[in-house]
Structure 1
Amino acid sequence: MRFTVLGGCGAWPAAGQACSGYVVEHEGYRVLVDPGYATLPRLLELMRADEVDAVLVTHGHPDHCADLNPLLRARALADEPAPALPVHAPPGALDAVLALDNRRMLAGSFALHELSPGTPVEVGPFRLDAFDVPHHVPNAGLRLSGGGRVIAYTGDTGPSPELIALAKDADLFVAEATYPERVPEEDAPYLSSALDAGRTASSAGAARLLLTHLWPDTPAEPALAAAARSYGGPLSVASGGLTLDLG
């Protein structure tokens, strides 16, 4: 299983970077996770638009889903339109981004599937489990299993006991870490720190921790130092172009 980072900025893309966006590959099947702002150009450096096999979206904030629109345009407006792209997301999460074009423009370009926590589904060679974790809008933590490997991803989330189950014994735990140590009081129920991510990774027994969704133009070092206070395993920050081969 291979994991590639397209971008990891929270809120908006810093110069030369992209917001949340990841590609998971296994047995030749390619899953795009959270096509946030500016992720499509980076994706197209790796593959054609019609080579994406499925899309997973954790929630409806545009820094996690805005580039679904140009991806669907690239597939629908090609000389030979691609087959309908399976798109999995929480109910209603993509209403706004799918409304950017009229129905005729994107007709037949996607097949929308609602994520249901507690009900695993098959996505190509993967088993997908969704977890209901807290954010300003409905957000699904995602756990992808395949070939004896597990990747767990929080989306954006505040504190929740569900996070331990999401990350349990994961080979890679991709965790939102907007702030290094302390989340401002008004956002504390809905966002996490790198320190929080480290604690969760340690409690869950995750083999590797990847911090993502850092505030744009902030250095990685404070986040890494905070997470290392509570987590002793391999640790890094999501940056465009990073690829991890999980075997």
Structure 2
Amino acid sequence: MELEVTLLGTGVGIPHSGRAQAGLVVRAEEPLLFDCGAGALLRLAEAGLSPLEIDVVLLTHLHLDHVSDLLALAKARWLMGANEISVFGPDGTEAWFEALRSLYPYLEELDVSITIVRPGDEFSLSGLMIRAGEAVHSLPALGYRIESEAMAAVYSGDTEPAASMRKLARGADLLIHECSFPEPFVVTNHSTPLWLGGTFRGAGVKRIVLTHLYPQTVGREEEMVRDVRAGLADETKVEVGRDLQRIGV
């Protein structure tokens, strides 16, 4: 089974032109939405997807730039006659969602199923095997490996380049990994190009797409690709992702 990934949002909490906040869709039997930051709902429409097609959402963590359109998506489905949605996410997801929904009494009739996911969990959705790995961020955070019978794609969410992410991505056909800042920024909880490349050197990843780009990356995209490849020291294909980009796996 082939996979198709559509990048909905490749930006961050600080807006800059052309990049919505975090979100991507993986399509196999049915589309799965990973993260749902501000602008993701509009990007879904621009990608030709109706909210009615998105009944499963997997969250990497609960920062606003990854979750702020989730309630809006659930409401859009409700307005269109679909009352149910399933949400998978890290510890705290249920408490966060219910606290937010409680502010809007008319949405209490939404039928929302929430499943807490922890690093190491494996489960099947839409004919795909999903495995969660631990991300290194400022609050509980996950990365996800999505596998068909023959293909594997990994989405890092927000994280430092970490041994846990390297393990999750080993041998993957596609790694969508955050790379928030160019060199020579020194950061925690996020990734920079040389650090990212060095972490995944020898991991057997075939293609890396960089996402979660801060405004400081504008105009430095080619340089960032070169720096990631310098860290990798191999022939892995590296590119900067863009909103609405479709990637076949």
When normalised by structure 1's length, the TM-score is 0.90
What secondary structure, in the 3-state scheme, does the structure 1 residue paired with 2:201 have? helix
Q: Deviations over 1:28-62 (max 9, x none)?
A: x1001111111110102221101013111100001
Q: Which residue of 1 aligns with 2:196?
A: 197
- 1:150-165 equivalences in 2 (<5 Å): 150-165=152-167
- 1:61-100 equivalences in 2 (<5 Å): 61-78=63-80, 80=81, 82-93=82-93, 95-96=95-96, 98-100=98-100
- 1:111-130 equivalences in 2 (<5 Å): 111-130=113-132
Q: Which residue of 1 aligns with 2:136?
A: 134
Distance 2:236 2:167 in 1: 18
1:83 shift after superposition: 4.4
Q: Which moved more, 1:197-206 or 1:235-244?
A: 197-206
Residue among 233, 237, 241 paired with 2:240:
237
Could you tell me which amino acid in structure 1 is paired with residue 91 of structure 2? P
- Do the aligned partners of residues 50 and 106 (structure 1) sit closer, same or farther apart at CA in structure 2, a change above 3 Å counting? farther
1:26 shift after superposition: 0.6
- Do the aligned partners of residues 106 and 199 (structure 1) sit closer, same or farther apart at CA in structure 2, a change above 3 Å counting? farther
1:10 shift after superposition: 2.1
- 1:143-222 equivalences in 2 (<5 Å): 143-184=145-186, 187-188=187-188, 190-216=189-215, 218-219=218-219, 220-222=221-223
What secondary structure, in the 3-state scheme, does the structure 2 residue paired with 1:36 have? coil
- Do the aligned partners of residues 229 and 123 (structure 1) sit closer, same or farther apart at CA in structure 2, a change above 3 Å counting? same
Q: Which residue of 2 aligns with 1:7?
A: 9
- Do the aligned partners of residues 53 and 125 (structure 1) sit closer, same or farther apart at CA in structure 2, a change above 3 Å counting? farther
Q: Which moved more, 1:54-63 or 1:221-230?
A: 221-230
1:86 shift after superposition: 1.4
When normalised by structure 2's length, the TM-score is 0.89
1:245 shift after superposition: 1.0
Contact 1:60 1:94 in 2 (8 A): no
- Do the aligned partners of residues 9 and 131 (structure 1) sit closer, same or farther apart at CA in structure 2, a change above 3 Å counting? same
Distance 2:242 2:93 in 1: 25
Identity of aligned residues (%): 30
Distance 1:125 1:13 in 2: 35
What secondary structure, in the 3-state scheme, does the structure 1 residue paired with 2:42 have? helix
Could you tell me which amino acid in structure 2 is paired with residue 177 of structure 1? C
Q: Which residue of 1 aligns with 2:101?
A: 101
Stretches of structure 1 that go unaligned for 5 or more consecutive residues are none
What secondary structure, in the 3-state scheme, does the structure 2 residue paired with 1:22 have? strand
Residue among 52, 55, 70 paired with 2:54:
52
Contact 1:2 1:243 in 2 (8 A): yes
Q: How many residues align?
A: 240
CA RMSD of aligned residues (A): 1.8
Contact 1:118 1:131 in 2 (8 A): yes
Contact 1:4 1:22 in 2 (8 A): yes
1:155 shift after superposition: 0.8
1:163 shift after superposition: 1.6
Q: Deviations over 1:109-129 (max 9, x none)?
A: 421110122221111211111
